[in-house]
Chain A
Amino acid sequence: MPGLMRAAHLDDFTLLRYTARDLDEPDRRQAEEHLQSCPECETTLASIECLDRELKAVASGIPAAGDLSPDDPFARRPKHRPPPAPSPRGDFAKLAAAALEASERAGDSSVRILAAARGEAGELAALMDGLALSDAGDRFALLYALQEAGRQIAENPLRALGLAQAAIAALERAAPGGDPNGASERMVPLRALEAQACLLAGQAANWTGELEAARKRFEEAYRGFAESTGDEVSFAMVEYSESQRRSFAGLPGEGALLARRAAASFAAAGLEDYVARSRVAEGIALAKLNREEEALAAFRAAAAVFLERQLWSNYVGAVNAAGACLMRAGRLAEARREFARALKSVSRDRHAAWVPYIRNGLANVLFSAGSYADAAKAFSQTARLFAELNLVGQTLIASLYEIESWALAGDHARAGHRLELFRAEVARHRALDPAIIGQLEAALSGENPDFREIANLRQRAEEILRDRFEKNRAS
């Protein structure tokens, strides 16, 4: 880094970066050591911190580059408005030890809540009815269960929604929040639990495409955290989720801004995994703004973090997003290398759940590049890997691409043979209207197949299969 110690003292920009925790670890250590022995720099640092606070206050009156209107609930992070603290506030060690003990007790209970959420609806409702929300242990248990359900949301969004709704109902029954100065309320305010449940409900709605419902939930969560704990990480989680929602809702400029705001908080807390997730959210927004180069940089930076930390589902998502960016830009050779590198990074045995998704990306590149015979072989392999994981919808979609690829490669006999196998699988799972298969067969027949019709039918069938099997997975 240039300039950190060029002169006898630290310069203002270094001190601002120090205040913002923006320095690399060695530079931060060097600055810290210097500050310990230099009263002059210590005084300048105090002045910079004061300036930093004032600039934050000034900035709160400046609209965010026109991307968010001043009336937007997310225009700026809400001020933490905690209830009045008791006076005297009590013994630190006593309250903290009690909170620690309550959070320890909560571990098993939170696992039980998550297990109940996987079972029958009645089981979850009974468990929620049995929660003693005046008890800090049960509050921690519910909080942890809601947070964990958020982390696992991709597995089953509707199940997460069910848990969020059951929690909101239980909290409504428990309202009003009781003594604001009571120990349980200070450890885990009911309003914070409600905010966490709203965040989870919003995340589930993002997955199911109910974006208006998600908006209301995220706004409520944002307000709820401001009125209770004011935890920066919680605010950033809401912003990250709202960023995704805005990008899906056709507001990618706003999505990018919120993703960056969330990333800044995660970075300040040193939560690099979440910084990388926010970078992916920003990349999605940038891609929708046709800023493909910046999006690609965001996806690649995130993928490197996920790879290093072995967060495989995130890694595969980021690689696929980067590959899609390159394909849209017509940089097919680079896209192919991207997927090939990713395949080398994972083990067929240890990462069996993720390999087919990378292979699928590679097959798509071959298809886009017009290497239809190679694409057909790659889709065939992908379908086999998805079948081993019992992912019926994904298997059938890959098979559809394989059929189309063989037809485009001019191997009509093989396309016809694969169609027969596909027909049998579809019948076995009752996955599609047989009429679509009939239309596909007609389009494939003869010496000159109707490729446009085949592509249309494949697209229609793909939508039906995704809808049907995603919904089945979620219910």
Chain B
Amino acid sequence: METEPRFPTSREVAEALLLDAGQRSKLLAYAGARFGLALEDSEDVLQDTALELLRQRTIVRNPRGFVFSVFHGRCCDFLESRRRSRRLLPNNLSGSAPAAGPAPDETIDDRLALRQVFGEVSTSCRRLLLAYYVEGRSLREAASAIALAYSGVWKTMTRCLRRLRRCLA
């Protein structure tokens, strides 16, 4: 018999979120500050978050971390789907506010530039980025797989990320 200690389920975490106006306000503020989402959009994302939590009955050991993670993922999902809809529709037909980010062509140019730089960064950096972004490893796991001291990985990655950011700037 499984005798797991009592932790809340994702559904119970959703219940707590719905009762905790303070936590909801913090999440809405986070979506605004970090992703530039309008309050109305943030509330939609929060609603999707609550529904996602209610749909699962997974045992959760770190409720606040779990809620944050689902909310963060939903914010990214929201931005991505907004970008997709902008790509499919001209701006004036997309039904949403004018874009706060780059136009689609700029995004594509950015990606082409990134692709090019991606091919030029150091082998260690490329291996780590591929392990994280393509193979789905965690960054910690990806870094430990590189045959460099951890401080070496640190320096290489920081240099490489700076270069990639410059490419997007």
State whether A147 touches B47 (Cβ < 8 A).
Answer: no
Bound: A230/B75 CA distance, A? 12
For chain B, the count of residues having a C-beta within 8 Å of the partner chain is: 69
> Which single residue of chain B is at the shortest CB-CB distance from A110?
B57
State whether A231 touches B157 (Cβ < 8 A).
Answer: no
Tell me which of A62, A270, A312 has the highest count of chain B C-beta atoms within 10 A of its own C-beta.
Answer: A270
Bound: A148/B34 CA distance, A? 36
B22-76 with Cβ < 8 A to chain A:
34, 43-44, 46-47, 50-52, 54-62, 65-66, 69-70, 72-73, 76
> Which single residue of chain B is at the shortest CB-CB distance from A93?
B18
Bound: A140/B133 CA distance, A? 34
* A22, A47, A188, A232: the one within 8 Å of B139 (CB): A22
Bound: A115/B34 CA distance, A? 47
* A20, A63, A187, A230: the one within 8 Å of B54 (CB): A187
Residues of B contacting A148 with CB < 8 Å? Answer: 57
Residues of A contacting B169 with CB < 8 Å? Answer: 47
> Which single residue of chain A is at the shortest CB-CB distance from B163?
A12
- A51-B165, A65-B134 known; A233 vs B54 contact (CB < 8 Å): no
CB distance from A182 to the nearest CB of B (A): 13
Residues of A contacting B154 with CB < 8 Å? Answer: 2-3, 11, 13
Residues of A contacting B84 with CB < 8 Å? Answer: 79
| B4: Cβ under 8 A from any A Cβ | yes
Residues of A contacting B65 with CB < 8 Å? Answer: 21, 270
Residues of B contacting A270 with CB < 8 Å? Answer: 60-62, 65-66, 69
State whether A20 touches B47 (Cβ < 8 A).
Answer: no
State whether B34 touches A49 (Cβ < 8 A).
Answer: yes
- A3-B154, A53-B76, A270-B66 known; A100 vs B14 contact (CB < 8 Å): yes
* B54, B69, B162: the one within 8 Å of A21 (CB): B69
State whether A89 touches B11 (Cβ < 8 A).
Answer: no
State whether B54 touches A103 (Cβ < 8 A).
Answer: yes
Bound: A159/B46 CA distance, A? 37
CB distance from A290 to the nearest CB of B (A): 18
What 0/1 pattern do residues 84 to 124 of A give for CB contact below 8 A with B?
A: 01010100110111011001000000000000000000000
What 0/1 pattern do residues 1 to 25 of A give for CB contact below 8 A with B?
A: 0110000000111001100111000
State whether B138 touches A46 (Cβ < 8 A).
Answer: no
Residues of B contacting A46 with CB < 8 Å? Answer: 34
Bound: A272/B135 CA distance, A? 19
Bound: A40/B150 CA distance, A? 25
CB distance from B139 to the nearest CB of A (A): 4
State whether B111 touches A58 (Cβ < 8 A).
Answer: yes
Bound: A96/B66 CA distance, A? 18
State whether B59 touches A273 (Cβ < 8 A).
Answer: yes
State whether A2 touches B114 (Cβ < 8 A).
Answer: no
- A58-B118, A62-B130, A96-B47 known; A2 vs B73 contact (CB < 8 Å): no
What 0/1 pattern do residues 66 to 99 of B give for CB contact below 8 A with A?
A: 1001101100110111001000000000010000
State whether A96 touches B137 (Cβ < 8 A).
Answer: no
> Which single residue of chain A is at the shortest CB-CB distance from B69?
A269
Residues of A contacting B103 with CB < 8 Å? Answer: none
Residues of A contacting B110 with CB < 8 Å? Answer: 54
CB distance from B99 to the nearest CB of A (A): 14
Interface of B, helix, strand, loop or mixed by DSSP: helix
What 0/1 pattern do residues 271 to 304 of A give for CB contact below 8 A with B?
A: 1111000000000000000000000000000000
* A50, A95, A100, A233: the one within 8 Å of B56 (CB): A233
| A414: Cβ under 8 A from any B Cβ | no
What 0/1 pattern do residues 400 to 416 of A give for CB contact below 8 A with B?
A: 00000000000000000
Bound: A103/B11 CA distance, A? 8
Residues of B contacting A192 with CB < 8 Å? Answer: 55
Bound: A93/B56 CA distance, A? 19
What 0/1 pattern do residues 258 to 271 of A give for CB contact below 8 A with B?
A: 00111111011111
State whether A261 touches B132 (Cβ < 8 A).
Answer: no
State whether A92 touches B46 (Cβ < 8 A).
Answer: yes
Residues of B contacting A63 with CB < 8 Å? Answer: 134
Bound: A50/B154 CA distance, A? 20
Residues of B contacting A96 with CB < 8 Å? Answer: 18, 47, 50-51
| B147: Cβ under 8 A from any A Cβ | no
| A257: Cβ under 8 A from any B Cβ | yes
State whether B3 touches A58 (Cβ < 8 A).
Answer: no
| A353: Cβ under 8 A from any B Cβ | yes
State whether A311 touches B139 (Cβ < 8 A).
Answer: no
State whether B18 touches A100 (Cβ < 8 A).
Answer: yes
> Which single residue of chain B is at the shortest CB-CB distance from A24?
B140
| A55: Cβ under 8 A from any B Cβ | yes
| B164: Cβ under 8 A from any A Cβ | yes
Bound: A95/B49 CA distance, A? 12
Chain A residues close to B by CB (< 8 Å): 2-3, 11-13, 16-17, 20-22, 46-51, 53-59, 61-65, 79-80, 82, 85, 87, 89, 92-93, 95-97, 99-100, 103, 140, 143-144, 147-148, 186-188, 192, 229-233, 257, 260-265, 267-274, 309-313, 350, 353
Q: Could you jot down 27 A-B contacts, CB within 8 Å?
A: A2-B154, A3-B154, A12-B158, A13-B161, A22-B140, A49-B34, A53-B76, A53-B80, A54-B110, A55-B118, A58-B118, A59-B129, A59-B133, A65-B135, A79-B84, A96-B47, A97-B18, A103-B11, A143-B55, A187-B55, A231-B56, A233-B56, A261-B135, A269-B69, A272-B61, A311-B2, A312-B2
